[in-house]
Amino acid sequence: MASAAEQLASNLNFAAFAKAEDLKKRIWFTLGALLVYRLGTYIPLPGINPDAFAQAFQQQSGGVLGMFNMFSGGAVERMAIFALGIMPYISASIIMQLMTSVVPSLEALKKEGEQGRKVINQYTRYGTVLLAVVQAYGISVGLEGGNSIVTDPGWFFRTSAVITLVGGTMFLMWLGEQITARGIGNGISLIIFAGIVAGLPHAISGTLELGRTGALSTGLILAIIVLAIVVIAVIVFFERAQRRLLIQYPKRQVGNRMFQGDTSHLPLKLNTAGVIPPIFASSLLLLPATLAGFSSQTTMPGWASAVLAALGHGQPLYMALYAGMIIFFAFFYTAIVFNPKDTADQLKKHSGFIPGYRPGERTAEYIDYVLTRITVIGAIYLVLVCMLPEFLISATGVPFYLGGTSLLIVVSVTLDTVAQIQGHLIAHQYEGLIKKSKLRGGKRGR
């Protein structure tokens, strides 16, 4: 028999949406916040020659700058005040998650509940400022080293650039928190989502222009469209896929009444790591080529040139390392975000157990066994989704926005956002049912 929540979810319609005034306010607030973000990506950094920077960016757009430009919604290409984007905050968050797993004091702080999470969030903000300052200073120095990019080089430009770029990152971090609290949730993810989606029309028009000029055949463009649809369908299937472990609760007696034991499920996502593995792998592999591009004026040893050539897009070594890193980070990040021992302890605390396994250590071992097996499938799925577009990009020169990482982020955030909206509608319908029941009870009392 379907649960009440499932029945309500199946009955969601436009009429329910029209009555949910709070949800509409949240959606309008989210759209307004994203509009502010998009406007900020067009405000240029003071002291920059836009034409000179555009020429310099074109030479480096195939490296890690291209990926950062995608995540920042084109702000890097225009060297706008939001050029750093939200990436310093994401990096600081990942570093804090790693530290909470290896530093005993932070691990204990994480278990303190809401107060502990507030302290860890504050540490994350401090880390964001530190990373943003380092990156902003590096950008300012790199801009001064370019050919007539900075109109008036010196410490005044460096200071103003650092303050502006760090301020832009902190504003985006605050804006993401506001979307999470006052909007429809997933603030940081929606900011990245908006940046990628904003570049999709340009990428599609660029692909069509290649077809018009004859650089890409009509059949190849149709094949690209079909491949994109297939990749999206595969992402939707695997992102929603779960392995549910049966959880049973024993019978309990309350007073003179005996209550039957309940059953529930422990859902384990097939892809617990999400989009983190391809993002990390892409960053690490593109970093050497980008650094070499910045130092192109210097003479590199022969072995360094050979390694950089082997790490180019479409090369066998690049593809092998990319796949290996995705698999490694899939297991590594899954181990960070999901602890089978803690889950087994929580089940034991609430008298729950998995049939056939004793509560405690045996349950933790079984959960870890199942999680490892499904992570293998999830890692293979990530490799296939990210590698097929890589082959396409290297073979045809399709814009970077059509890569597997960008499609993975767009589809995943879309699914999460739809789930958030459905959750708000379900809560609104529950509130309406409660109000109706109270009114009926009041009338009967009279």
| Structure confidence at residue 313 (pLDDT) | 60
Dihedral Cα 314, 318, 322, 328, nearest 10 deg: 160
Domain stops at, among 159, 182, 212: 212
| Structure confidence at residue 16 (pLDDT) | 63
Q: Do 274 and 375 sit in the same domain of this protein?
A: yes
- Domains contained in the chain, number: 2
pLDDT band at 31 (very low <50, low <70, confident <90, very high): very high
The helix (H) or strand (E) run that includes residue 151 is none
Helix (H, G, I), strand (E, B) or coil at 252: strand
Q: Do 225 and 197 sit in the same domain of this protein?
A: no
Q: What is the pTM of this model?
A: 0.76
Q: Do 225 and 317 sit in the same domain of this protein?
A: yes
What's the rounded Cα separation, in Å, for the pair 168 and 100? 27
The helix (H) or strand (E) run that includes residue 243 is strand 242-248
Helix (H, G, I), strand (E, B) or coil at 257: strand
Q: Do 200 and 229 sit in the same domain of this protein?
A: no
Task: Give the tens place of pLDDT for each residue, 81-126.
Answer: 888 888 888 778 877 877 887 788 877 877 777 777 788 888 889 9
| Structure confidence at residue 283 (pLDDT) | 67
Q: Do 205 and 225 sit in the same domain of this protein?
A: no
The helix (H) or strand (E) run that includes residue 266 is strand 263-269
What's the rounded Cα separation, in Å, for the pair 209 and 398? 11
The reply to whether 7 falls in a domain is no
Q: What is the CATH number of the domain that holds 133?
A: 1.10.3370.10
Specify the DSSP class assigned to residue 214.
T
The CA R_g of the chain, rounded to the nearest whole Å, is 25
For residues 378 and 272, is the Cβ–Cβ distance under 8 A?
Answer: yes
Q: Do 77 and 165 sit in the same domain of this protein?
A: yes
| Structure confidence at residue 416 (pLDDT) | 82
Q: Do 313 and 379 sit in the same domain of this protein?
A: yes
CA angle 443, 445, 446 (to 5 degrees): 65
Task: Give the tens place of pLDDT for each residue, 363-421.
Answer: 889 999 999 999 999 999 999 888 876 676 666 656 555 567 778 888 888 888 888 88
Tell me what the pLDDT averaged over the chain comes to: 78
- Unique residue bearing structure tokens 């009870």: 441
**Segment 162-189 mean pLDDT:** 89
For residues 382 and 329, is the Cβ–Cβ distance under 8 A?
Answer: no
Q: Which domain holds residue 374?
A: 216-295+302-440
Stretch among 74-78, 154-158, 168-172, 266-270 having the lowest mean pLDDT = 74-78
What's the rounded Cα separation, in Å, for the pair 135 and 68? 12
The reply to whether 14 falls in a domain is no
pLDDT band at 3 (very low <50, low <70, confident <90, very high): very low
**Segment 64-71 mean pLDDT:** 65
Name the packing angle between helices 155-182 and 187-213 (round to 10°): 110
The reply to whether 1 falls in a domain is no
**Segment 238-259 mean pLDDT:** 76
Closest CA to 338 of 280, 235, 412, 269: 269
For residues 270 and 243, is the Cβ–Cβ distance under 8 A?
Answer: yes
The DSSP code sequence of 175-206 is HHHHHHHHSSS-HHHHHHHHHHHHHHHHHHHH
Helix (H, G, I), strand (E, B) or coil at 261: coil
Domain stops at, among 162, 180, 212: 212
Helix (H, G, I), strand (E, B) or coil at 352: coil
**Segment 411-434 mean pLDDT:** 75
Which tokens hold the place of 67? 């990926």
Task: Give the tens place of pLDDT for each residue, 280-302.
Answer: 777 677 666 555 554 444 445 66
Decide if pLDDT at 37 tops 80.
yes
**Segment 222-250 mean pLDDT:** 85
Q: Do 130 and 144 sit in the same domain of this protein?
A: yes
For residues 79 and 44, is the Cβ–Cβ distance under 8 A?
Answer: yes
3-state helix, strand, coil in the chain (%, to 5): 75, 5, 20
Q: Do 202 and 226 sit in the same domain of this protein?
A: no
The reply to whether 110 falls in a domain is yes
The 3 state secondary structure assigned to 71-132 is HCCCHHHHCECCCCCCHHHHHHHHHHHHHHHHCHHHHHHHCCCHHHHHHHHHHHHHHHHHHH
**Segment 161-168 mean pLDDT:** 92
What's the rounded Cα separation, in Å, for the pair 423 and 20? 12
What's the rounded Cα separation, in Å, for the pair 152 and 405? 38
Which tokens hold the place of 305? 């040139």
Exposure string over 123-132, b if 16+ CB within 10 A, otherwise e? bbbebbbebb
What's the rounded Cα separation, in Å, for the pair 246 and 1? 17
Q: Do 158 and 269 sit in the same domain of this protein?
A: no
Q: Do 166 and 231 sit in the same domain of this protein?
A: no
